[in-house]
Amino acid sequence: LKTLPEAAAGCTGCSILSALQDLSVAFWPCRSKMEKHLQVISVLQWVISFMAMGAACTVLLIYMFCTDCWLISAIYTAWLIVDWNTPKQGGRRSSWVRNWTVWTYFRDYFPIRLIKTHNLLPSRNYIFGYHPHGIFCFGAFCNFGTEATGFTKKFPGIKPSLATLAGNFRLPVLRDYLMSGGICPVNKNSIDYLLSRNGTGNAVVIVVGGASESLQCAPGMNIVTLKNRKGFVRLALQKGSDLVPVYSFGENDAYKQVIFEEGTYWRSFQRRLQKILGFAPCLFHGCGLFFGNSWGIVPYGNPITTIVGEPITVPKIEDPSDEMVDLYHAMYIKSLQCLFDKYKTRSGLKESDVLYIQ
């Protein structure tokens, strides 16, 4: 039999344990809310960085020349001149930056998933055609610009390089931020270096539809701009790099956009700015920072599922004929169509949903 003090001690221990369990349950909702806030912040910092970091740092750099801190600006400007061609020569990726914890919060906000369908050989180079563009290419950035979805674990020996507007690499600080994630300019010199002078196991990710496609994106829309986009196929033939179709279900659901009809003044205005700036000025909105039913630049938290398809083996032909380009372009379109049809119901679409290729 237990003595009175032993019994009292036992009851006290049970009470403390019970109280701690109740406390953890009480604080769990707060922890869940905190994680959601961190997810929103992680996505918002990327959106703001992409939209404003380059311009803000350019203005700051010029302003500092007029202050007592001019020496800092002078040193950075000198470094910028010396380092100007680095983005065209493979960049300066950082495994540390690609594995930041902030990217796991970024991934979990939507959430974003990467699905592997076939193995890729490290002895080959690849050109990934990414579809659709969406507004900010969240799926492309998360899957290929970070390690949040485990790209290098799923495709060992393959090093992805997401290609984006070359103009971004002329802007101070932003260029370094992008290069740290393995992001490169989408121009001939940069891609030529990665596929010809950087060994094997390289995968250049090109958002084929580009700025024109972003003007067509809206929730529920499955439209890709591809019929007349043959440059990436010609490049693949010239370098002997295999083509890999990639489709991101849900990429177009991140924002709502006002889509102007072709021929209207506003659409013509968008097209004109697109030619000048290199990107399309879309009129879009997401949800607010504090209230989900308000408007803002925070994207809607809809799932994004990125499917990496089967590689199309491409021979190396230094000067491919138009007929050869058309042949492999048709093969690529067929492969992308099959990829969409096979995985659409598994990714939340209906069997009746169709991929429109324009």
Digit-coded pLDDT (tens) for 63-103:
999 999 999 999 999 999 999 999 999 999 999 999 999 99
Percent of the chain with pLDDT over 90: 71
Model pLDDT for residues 283-308, shown as the tens digit of each residue: 888 888 776 677 889 999 999 999 99
Look at residue 26 and tell me whether its pLDDT is greater than 80: no
What pLDDT does 282 receive? 80
pLDDT at 2: 47
Closest CA to 100 of 203, 177, 194, 206: 177
**Average pLDDT of the segment spanning 256-260:** 85
247-272 core/surface letters (b: 16 or more CB in 10 A; e: else)? bbbbbbbbbbbebbeeeeeeeeebbe
Is pLDDT at 182 greater than 90 in this prediction? yes
Q: What is the mean pLDDT of the chain?
A: 89
CA distances from 68 to 26, 72, 120, 172, 173 (A): 53, 9, 54, 20, 21
Over 60: is that where the pLDDT of 25 sits? no
Q: Quick check: 6 pLDDT over 70?
A: no
Q: What is the band of 263 on the pLDDT scale with cuts at 50, 70, 90?
A: confident
List beta partners, residue 162.
Answer: 205
Unique residue bearing structure tokens 């596929």:
195
Residues 6+ positions from 277 with CB-CB distance below 8 Å: 167
Task: Give how far Cα 216 sits from Cα of 13, 51, 65, 158, 283, Å.
Answer: 64, 20, 42, 32, 11
Residue range 33-62: average pLDDT?
92
CA distances from 161 to 49, 218, 241, 259 (A): 19, 26, 14, 31
- Please give the Cα distance from 221 to 105 (Å, whole number): 27
* Alpha-carbon gap, residue 321 to 337, rounded angstroms: 25
Tell me whether strands 223-224 and 242-249 are parallel, antiparallel or unpaired: unpaired
> Is the pLDDT confidence value at 18 over 60?
no
pLDDT bucket at 126, cuts 50 / 70 / 90 = very high
Give the angle subtended at the CA of 120 by the CAs of 116 and 124, to the nearest 5°: 155
pLDDT of residue 197: 85
201-239 pLDDT, tens digit per residue, is 999 999 999 878 888 888 888 999 999 999 999 999 999
Please return the burial class of 75, using the count of CB atoms within 10 Å of its CB with bins 0-12, 13-18 and 19+: exposed
pLDDT at 215: 84
